[in-house]
Amino acid sequence: MNPDAKPPTPPLPRSGAVALAAPRLVGREDPRSRSGTPDEEEGVISWATVMASLRSWWAGVVERSPAWSVSLAVHAVILLVMTGWILRHETPLRLHLDMVFGTGPTDGGGDEGGGAPAIVVAEPEPTPPQPDAAAVDPEPMALPLPPDPTGTLSATDAPAAQPAVPIPDMTAGLLAGRGAGMKEGLLRGFGGTEETEAAVALALEWLVRQQGKKDGLWSLTGPYNDGGSQENQLAASAMALLSLQGAGNTTSSGPYKGVVSKGWRSLLAKQLPEGNFDVGPLPMLHSLYSHAQATIALCELRAMTGDPAFEEPARRAVRYALAAQGPNGGWKYEPGKNGDMSVTGWYVMALKSAQMAGVDVPQETLERVSAFLDSMAVENGSRYGYFRFSPAKPAGSVTAAVTAEGLLCRLHLGWGREDPRLVAGLEWLLAEHPLDYENNKDVYAWYYITQVMHQAQGSQWKRWNEQLRDTLPKNQVLKGRERGSWDPSLDRWGPFGGRLFVTCMSACSLEVYYRYLPLYGAVPSAERER
C-alpha cells in the first residue's frame, strides 16, 4: 500500500440529497414532476453557480460604492468577529469552596465528655505554580497599631519609671501578622531576610517528616538522631504545632494544614474533662510545662481560625491552667505548688493566648502573677531569679533565660517599653549573653530574649537581630537525613530536649518578625524611614 496515495473521491450525491441539496429558484416548475433530464434542465442550480453569482454581485456593489463605505463595512465586520472571539474566550469564574470545621461527634479515643471535635484531615493538594518571588514586591504594610513615639531606646536616655498601665485592647490582633500578605511586609519591615525565611521553611519540612504516621504526634526521643533523654509526646507535639502555626499553618489554611489537622485530631482526642491531656506517661518535672505549651498552641489555633469547634477545648485547657496556679502566684511542676520563673513564663503566655482566643482570664489571676514577678525581681526589677527558696532571701539563680522571661511577662502585664528597668535588663542581656553559638549555646534563652527584644524594639532589637538573622541560619543542618534541623550538641538543654526541642526553639525565634505583632505599636523600621 502506497501511504502517499490519495483515496478515491466519493461520488457526489444526486440532486435532492440532504447533504448538498441545491436551492431551487422561486417560480420555476418543480423539477420532481419531470424525469429523464439533467439537473440544469430541471431548474436546479449548483452551489458553485450561486457563489459565482454572489461574487459578481458583490464586485458590482464595491465598484459602485464610495471608498469610505467599503472601509466602514470591512471594519464593522472585523469588530463583530473580535467581539465574538472575546466573549467566547472569556475566562469563566470558578467557585472555590473552603471547608471549615464545625462541631461533630467525638473521637472515640477521648474520655467521656472530653472527646475531640471532628477534624477531617485534608488530602494533599496539588501545588499551584508560584510566581517568581523576585518579581513580587508586596506593598508596605500599614500596621493597625499606633506609631512608635520614641524610635530607639537606651539605658542612659530612658525616661523615669512609669507605673504599670493596662495593656492596650489589641490582644486579639497580635496573631494577625501570620496571614498571607501582612507576613511578607512584617518580615521585611522588622529585619528578616530571605535567609531567615528559608531556614524556617527547611525547619518546617523537617518537622513534617518527623510526625508519627499512625498517631499524628511528635516525639522528643526520635526517630531522628540525637533525641532527648526522656519521652514527652505532649510537649513535642505542642512545640511542633507552635512552629507550624507560627508560620500561618492551621487546620484550614497553609501548605501544612493536613499535618496540623492530623496533630490536633490526635491531641484533642486525648484531652480529659478537666482540660489536661493524657498523652502517655510524662516525666515528673514536665507535666505543667507541657500543658502550658499545649494551651498556647490550642488558644492560638482558636484565635487564628475562629472555628467554634476549638472553643470548648481551649476553655477547658485554660480552666486547668487557672486551677494549677500556686500560692505565690506562679506555676511549677505540679498544680497548686509555689511557682518558679521558668514554668510561670510559659503560663503567662498561655493566659495571653487565651485572651487572644476570647477566653476570659480573671484579673485577680494576673494581679497574683504581678506579685509573683515582684518576688522574683532583683536589681530593681531589671533581672529575675529562678526561684525564691525563702521569703527572707532574694530569688536565686539569676540567668539570661529567666530574666528574659520575667521582662517579657512584665511587658504583657503592663510595663511600657520606655521603662528604665526594662531597658536596663535588655542592655544586661545584650552585654552578658550574646548569641554565641560556639561558647554559650542556649536556644531556650535565645527564644525568650528574641521575643522580649522584638516587643521592646528600639536599638536593642536592632542589635540582637543582627546576631539572630545571621547565626541561626548559618548553623542549620543543610545536608543529609536531618536537613532543616539544628544539632543539639553543646546546647545547654540539648541532652534533655534533643534535636526536636532545639529545632522548634530556633524556628520559632526566626518566625519572630511576624509571629506576634508588637504589644505597644512599634512600626517596622522600613515604615519609619518612609
We report the CATH number of the domain holding residue 307 as: 1.50.10.20
SS3 assignment, position 92: coil
CB 222 within 8 A of CB 248: no
269 in any annotated domain: yes
The verdict on residue 51 lying in a domain is no
Backbone angles phi, psi at 315, to 5 degrees: -65, -40
Which three cell numbers mark 339? 511557682
pLDDT by residue, tens only, the chain of 530 residues: 444 444 444 443 333 333 333 333 333 344 333 444 334 444 444 555 645 665 665 566 556 666 656 566 655 556 554 555 444 444 333 333 333 333 333 333 333 333 333 333 333 333 333 333 332 223 322 333 323 333 333 333 333 333 333 333 334 578 888 987 789 999 999 999 999 999 999 999 999 999 999 999 999 999 999 999 999 999 999 999 999 999 999 999 999 999 999 999 999 999 999 999 999 888 888 899 999 999 999 999 999 999 999 999 999 999 999 999 999 999 999 999 999 999 999 999 999 999 999 999 999 999 999 999 999 999 999 999 999 887 777 788 899 999 999 999 999 999 999 999 999 999 999 998 999 888 889 999 999 999 999 999 999 999 999 999 999 999 999 999 999 999 999 899 999 999 999 999 999 999 999 999 988 665 555 444 33
DSSP notation for 162-228:
----PPPS-GGGTTGGGSTTHHHHHHHHTT--HHHHHHHHHHHHHHHHHS-TTT----SS-SSSSB-
Looking at the domain assignment, is residue 97 inside a domain?
Answer: no
Q: Is residue 152 part of a domain?
A: no
- Residue 255 lies in domain: 166-528
Rounded to 5°, the CA angle 144-457-178 comes to 45
Whether residue 262 is contained in a domain is answered as: yes
Is there a domain that residue 240 lies in? Answer: yes
Asked whether residue 250 is assigned to any structural domain, the reply reads yes
Number of domain units in the chain: 1
Q: Do the domain assignments include residue 338?
A: yes
